[in-house]
Amino acid sequence: MLINYIKAFNDNYIWTIEKDGKTLVVDPGDAGPVIDYLKDKNLDYILLTHKHMDHVGGVKELKNKYGAKVYGPLETKEYNDIFLSDGDEFELLGENFKVILTAGHTEEHISYLMGDKLFCGDALFLAGCGRVFTKDYKKAYEGLNKLKNLDDDTYVYPAHEYSLANLKFAKSVISNDDLDREFERVKKLREEEKITLPSTIGKEKKINPFFLARDLDEFTQFRNKKDNF
Ligand code: ZN
Ligand code: FE
């Protein structure tokens, strides 16, 4: 199995999973870069985490061109072939996928756990989390706690390269050696314009202020601070 990424817009990553000649992409916000990446390969499946255009903008064109089958939550209904909700499990490319509701960024944002790999869209970022557009901080906090309870060695594949900005904010609200080390690692990679992902749940438990928040109140405080940072 091969996991790769396609860059889109300024800072989006469209993750690809390839196995036995089949290809799946997560959150194709733009069709062009996916078509370029595929060359003469087919696109078999599309997984969607939520309805924002930088995640679904390329779906219609890709579906028309390749006949890819689309999986997503109710909020992406105009694109879906298969509707998913919390706790659903399905098999693709011979792998088991588990759906975890990680709402808050949007009403029905979902994340996908494939074995020890988590595709979490805009729910969880390296050292950060998605803006809570719904204002339902409780839901957002609950969703993040579900992710926090996954195994420490779970790989985390978010949809954006926000790591450096997130770490700058993290350093303003928490401080520890792991955070300092991660900041130096990420700073160096970004100077070379390299990807900083995937992360792991174990790492996030040490450096992500939204994982380290003591309770819902502190989570909400951190989130509001970050929005104005
Ligand atoms: Zn989003
Ligand atoms: Fe996004």
Q: Which residue has the tokens 């029905």?
A: 108
- pLDDT tens digits, one per residue of 138-190: 999 999 999 999 999 999 999 999 999 999 999 999 999 999 999 999 999 99
Q: How many CB atoms lie within 10 A of CB 33?
A: 17
22 vs 8: CA distance, rounded Å: 21
Euclidean distance between CA atoms 127 and 212, whole angstroms: 10
Q: pLDDT > 70: what percent of the chain?
A: 100
Torsion of CA 12, 76, 200, 181, to 10 degrees: 40
* Alpha carbon of 11 to ligand 1 centroid (Å): 12
User: How far apart, in whole angstroms, are the C-alpha atoms of residue 123 and residue 143?
Assistant: 8
Q: What is the mean pLDDT of the chain?
A: 98
C-alpha 188 to ligand 2 mean position (Å): 24
The H-assigned helical ranges of 42-131 are 53-56, 59-66
Mean pLDDT of the 100-122 span = 98
CB 98 within 8 A of CB 89: yes
Q: What is the pTM of this model?
A: 0.98
pLDDT of 58: 98
d(CA 150, CA 200): 10
What was the pLDDT predicted at 30? 98
Q: pLDDT-based confidence at 211, cuts 50/70/90?
A: very high
Whole-number Å distance, alpha carbon 55 to ligand 2 midpoint, is: 6
137: which residues sit within 8 A by CB, 6+ positions away?
A: 104, 216, 219, 220, 223
User: What topology does CATH give the domain 2-227?
Assistant: Metallo-beta-lactamase; Chain A (3.60.15)
Whose atoms come closest to the Cα of 26: which ligand?
Answer: 2
Phi/psi for 117 (5° steps) reads -125, 130
Give the model's pLDDT for residue 26: 99
Query: Domain locations in the chain?
Result: 2-227
Q: What is the pLDDT of residues 42-88, one digit of tens each?
A: 999 999 999 999 999 999 999 999 999 999 999 999 999 999 999 99
The answer to whether the CB of 99 falls within 8 A of the CB of 48 is no
Nearest listed ligand to the Cα of residue 134? 1
Pairing mode, strands 117-121 and 124-125 = unpaired
Distance CA 145, CA 143 (A): 5
